[in-house]
Amino acid sequence: MIVVMRPSATQEEVDEVRRAVEEHGLEAFLSVGEERTVIGVVGSDLERVAHLGTLSGVEQVIRISSPYKLASVEHHVERTRVRANGVEIGFGQELVVIAGPCAVESREQLMETARCVKREGARVLRGGAFKPRTSPYSFQGMGLPALKLLAEAHEATGLPVISEVVDPADVPAFEEHVDILQVGARNMHNFVLLRAVGQSRRPVLLKRGLSATIEEWLLAAEYILSTGNPNVILCERGIRTFETATRNTLDLSAVPVLRSRTHLPIIVDPSHGTGHRALVAPMALASAAVGADGLIIEVHPDPPNALSDGDQSLSFEEFGALMDELRRLQFVRAVDTAPVQPAAPPPFAAEGIEDVRDRIDDLDTRLAEMVQERASLALEVQRRRTPNAHGHDVLRERTLLERAASGTTGPMTPAELTMVFDALLRASRAVQRRHAQAVTEADAAATGSGG
């Protein structure tokens, strides 16, 4: 926190601020400038001096740190990637799709679903064992036997599994059988449970509470992080609003808002977020488009007869169609992302650092020229198209990305290389689009003047 004093502030007023800070066990650092004095306030509980702005001589108080220290980007500039039994979720990774039934109902139902979602490209299997249902008369889940079935499904498919834990006493059983612990929306404020999963060595998927603000949600994550578990994934699953057309209101703006505040991976649950099967695919695509790191989708072999959440569960066919669409739009790739073999070390061991830097400069110049040359060719392609149809061949682009990701050797991983090409393709499309727009405008002007 920074307290900015007015230029006219007296020494007594500055001393008063310092006294107020120190009285609350916090530290004050004075910086006396020519025009004014600025006081840096440091300590663990800045809420105690929230009143500093009301003291005389104070011009403004600027909060520079968020209340959620460990979850915040301020304290952790690099985005976190959470690893769960071989699958990585978060920065630089492609969209991870988690799919499976709302609740585990039987071995057959789970195995059939697990095989389907795996075949279609899901990377993690979901399945509720303990269901926190609104009504005590609704199906409450199979309990422990379902956890064992999930472990069996993992054995059979290799997919890591996720399930919701509702009781702190169950954490050890979950650790034994599942790869990711889910804290459900109804338990986001269950601080005992948050601390219990915080002590676990398994990653935690923390759903947003039904009426939780983003700050409250991040503070819930802070409970888990501050108890010692750094592997937290946030999941937007819709919030309660006055709207009744959907089960919840899926707050997709939460994704970019969170992105600016936290380094933690963010996924979206369009199943609970909408409550209607027909809305799941469009909102899943929208979630991918706003930059979610993953999706969690309910899938059932026979949705109309599901024991829970049948209305929002996708059939196998519907799930397959959604995965195809995610692939077509390149949110999910069909490439083997095994790291490329590192190349033999280049022969510049004898050179000094300046020589190596010179080489980099030369390379950058040549790269810029090549990028311009590529853009000229893209423009040429555009010129040969129907005048105002800009656009791009998604399949060709995907092939290019796949080739770029797997065809070379060097220190960059396929994911990093893909990031570079992604940017190149985006810029290239911008050039084409600008040209198409210019043609359209010229056409319109010609038609206008002709008529």
Length of the chain: 451
Report the partner that residue 277 touches, choosing among ligand PEP, Mn ion, none (CB closer than 5 to 8 A by kind).
Answer: none
Query: Cβ closer to ligand PEP: 105 or 269?
Result: 269
Query: Cβ closer to ligand PEP: 202 or 272?
Result: 272
Query: Cβ closer to Mn ion: 20 or 295?
Result: 295
Query: Cβ closer to ligand PEP: 184 or 301?
Result: 184
Residues in contact with ligand PEP, counted by CB under 6 A, come to a total of 10
**In the complex, what is the shortest distance from the CB of residue 164 to ligand PEP, in angstroms, rounded to a whole number?**
6
Which one of the spans 46-54, 66-74, 183-191, 436-444 is the region binding ligand PEP (CB under 6 A)? 183-191
Interatomic CA distance for residues 244 and 180, integer angstroms: 32
Question: Which listed residue (177, 207, 263, 435) binds ligand PEP by CB under 6 A?
Answer: 207
Helices 414-450/394-406 angle, 10° precision: 150
**In the complex, what is the shortest distance from the CB of residue 312 to Mn ion, in angstroms, rounded to a whole number?**
7
Site string for ligand PEP, 350-379 (x = CB under 6 A): ------------------------------
Place of tokens 């899901």: 122
Site string for ligand PEP, 236-275 (x = CB under 6 A): -x-------------------------------x--x---
Query: Cβ closer to ligand PEP: 237 or 390?
Result: 237
Query: Cβ closer to Mn ion: 120 or 309?
Result: 309
Query: Cβ closer to ligand PEP: 41 or 297?
Result: 297
Window 51-110: residues binding Mn ion (CB under 5 A): 102
**In the complex, what is the shortest distance from the CB of residue 102 to Mn ion, in angstroms, rounded to a whole number?**
3
Interatomic CA distance for residues 441 and 447, integer angstroms: 10
Three-state DSSP class for 294? strand
Start-to-end CA span in the chain (Å): 64
Site string for ligand PEP, 130-169 (x = CB under 6 A): ----------------------------------x-----
Query: Cβ closer to ligand PEP: 238 or 414?
Result: 238
Query: Cβ closer to ligand PEP: 237 or 300?
Result: 237
Asked if 127 interacts with ligand PEP (CB under 6 A), we say: no
**In the complex, what is the shortest distance from the CB of residue 272 to Mn ion, in angstroms, rounded to a whole number?**
6
Window 182-241: residues binding Mn ion (CB under 5 A): none
Question: Which listed residue (174, 309, 326, 402) binds Mn ion by CB under 5 A?
Answer: 309
- CB–CB of 314/299 below 8 Å? yes
**Residue (of 168, 165, 209) closest to 183 by Cα position:** 165
- CB–CB of 130/143 below 8 Å? yes
Residue 420: CB atoms within 10 A of its CB come to 11
Report the partner that residue 207 touches, choosing among Mn ion, ligand PEP, none (CB closer than 5 to 8 A by kind).
Answer: ligand PEP
Question: Which listed residue (102, 178, 258, 439) binds ligand PEP by CB under 6 A?
Answer: 102
**Residue (of 176, 94, 162, 83) closest to 124 by Cα position:** 162
Residues in contact with Mn ion by CB under 5 A are 102, 309
Q: Which residues of the shown chain bind ligand PEP in the complex (CB under 6 A)?
A: 102, 128, 164, 184-186, 207, 237, 269, 272
